[in-house]
């Protein structure tokens, strides 16, 4: 009798908790949907809530389009199952894995998922197809814990890595350096191993080399489908003033280039710390200078045909929004046209309205990705949400 009463109490409490929790998520979704009505888009486009995902940061869509992986700055990787206007479900990938900031996610053409954490790289074969059964024991180590960068250089700053598999079949990984401006006594080490740059390696972890140097903290990269050239965003130096230095959208047509940091704080603006030092020879300046302190993060080339021809082959990128500015700027999705041989236009706002001039943003875009149907996904880590932007002819 006592056992039966205890069971009843447990079941009633559980039911009550479920009844309480569900409306909370529903209320959150309703508020987000209400805020999305304020988002301004070009004529014919609309935006909607696709899924609620805690700490949603980066996106990686499998080559078959069957699953959408969401990286975070916490300890989980989530999987979205496509379901039309909204994700059919939100699941957890490899729940037993001891992930530490599993932010960098990317696929190769065979469906292998690469996971770049704060200080480790792993891969999971057939992750798109077999993600439900994969566990930490199935991970292949490309760089063990503590093997991506020296443990002494680990920091809470600029550790949200990103990755892409290039047309050459190699894995490209960004390594943000952990300072506002790199101290002189760290320069030689960082330049040698690629901190403050982009490294690349074979997909088994062998053949590591530094691909690009002089990069402060890149959190977005993609390869131009027209010519296979790597483009990447870069977040530039803080505490130099409201309107300087600019953010960057860079193009790296070959290995071995230097993009100026820390001698340059962004664009052609010299840093105070290195203003009297001669910069490296042949510094490559950005293709596009973005708004100062807007925090340019994830980017992709648009490969689909669902959007009007104007957008095809151009770059969509996410601006997370400023913290180091009197009046906030950013918190929007940008579009940049790219012409033959990388000739670029000026970036223009594509989706904006999360920034109403108040330091408390309505949302903070982080990454963008293209679904097989040509619609655009956008992550928002402030709201723990993924949005979907579609085009319907006006």
pLDDT of res. 23? 53
| Strands 197-201 and 209-213, sheet pairing | antiparallel
* pTM (two decimals): 0.93
Residue 78 lies in a domain: yes
Domain coverage including residue 164: 48-391
- Indicate the number of domains in the chain: 1
The rounded percent of the chain whose pLDDT value lies above 90 is: 88
* Contact predicate 335/347, CB 8 Å: yes
Residue 82 lies in a domain: yes
Residue 29 lies in a domain: no
pLDDT of res. 274? 98
Return the H-helix or E-strand segment holding 344: none
Calpha distance 150→276 (Å, rounded): 30
Calpha distance 198→214 (Å, rounded): 9
Q: Which residues of 20-42 are buried (b: 16+ CB within 10 A; e: fewer)?
A: eeeeeeeeebeebeebbeebebb
Residue 11 lies in a domain: no
pLDDT of res. 342? 67
Residue 40 lies in a domain: no
pLDDT of res. 10? 35
pLDDT of res. 163? 99
Average pLDDT, 10 consecutive residues per value, the chain (394 residues): 38 32 76 97 98 98 97 98 94 98 98 98 98 98 98 95 99 98 98 98 99 99 97 97 97 98 98 98 97 98 97 97 91 93 82 87 98 98 98 85
Calpha distance 54→321 (Å, rounded): 19
Residue 114: HSE in the Cβ half-sphere, 13 Å Cα cutoff: 28
What tens digit of pLDDT does each residue of 340-387 get? 766 677 899 999 999 987 768 999 999 999 999 999 999 999 999 999
What tens digit of pLDDT does each residue of 187-224 get? 999 999 999 999 999 999 999 999 999 999 999 999 99
Q: Give the CATH number of the domain where residue 381 resides.
A: 2.120.10.30
């Amino acid at each position: 009798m006592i056992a039966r009463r205890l069971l009843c109490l447990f079941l009633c409490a559980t039911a009550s908790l479920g009844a309480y929790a569900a409306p909370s998520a529903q209320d959150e979704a309703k508020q987000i949907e209400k805020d999305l009505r304020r988002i301004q888009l070009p004529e014919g486009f609309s935006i909607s809530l696709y899924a609620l995902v805690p700490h949603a940061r980066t996106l990686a869509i499998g080559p078959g389009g069957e699953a959408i992986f969401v990286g975070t700055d916490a300890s989980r990787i989530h999987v979205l199952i496509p379901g039309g206007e909204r994700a059919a479900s939100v699941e957890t990938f490899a729940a037993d894995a001891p992930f530490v900031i599993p932010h960098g996610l990317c696929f190769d053409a065979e469906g292998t998922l690469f996971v770049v954490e704060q200080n480790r790289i792993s891969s999971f074969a057939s992750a798109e197809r077999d993600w439900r059964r994969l566990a930490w024991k199935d991970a292949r180590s490309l760089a063990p814990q503590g093997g991506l960068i020296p443990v002494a250089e680990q920091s809470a700053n600029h550790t949200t890595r990103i990755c892409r598999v290039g047309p050459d079949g190699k894995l490209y990984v960004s390594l943000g350096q952990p300072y506002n401006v790199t101290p002189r006594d760290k320069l030689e080490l960082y330049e040698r191993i690629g901190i403050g740059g982009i490294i690349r390696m074979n997909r088994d972890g062998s053949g590591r080399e530094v691909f690009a140097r002089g990069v402060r903290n890149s959190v977005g990269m993609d390869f131009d489908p027209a010519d296979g050239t790597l483009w990447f965003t870069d977040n530039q130096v803080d505490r130099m003033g409201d309107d300087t230095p600019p953010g960057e959208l860079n193009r790296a047509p070959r290995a071995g280039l230097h993009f100026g940091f820390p001698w340059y704080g962004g664009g052609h603006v010299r840093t105070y710390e290195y203003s009297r030092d001669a910069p490296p020879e042949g510094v490559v300046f950005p293709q596009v200078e973005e708004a100062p302190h807007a925090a340019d993060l994830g980017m992709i080339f648009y490969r689909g045909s669902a959007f009007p021809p104007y957008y095809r082959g151009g770059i969509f990128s996410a601006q997370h929004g400023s913290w180091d500015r009197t009046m906030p700027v950013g918190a929007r999705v940008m579009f940049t046209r790219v012409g033959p041989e990388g000739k670029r236009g000026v970036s223009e706002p594509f989706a904006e309205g999360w920034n109403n001039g108040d330091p408390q943003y309505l949302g903070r875009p982080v990454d963008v990705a293209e679904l097989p149907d040509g619609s655009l996904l956008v992550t928002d880590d402030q709201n723990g949400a993924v949005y979907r932007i579609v085009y319907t002819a006006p």
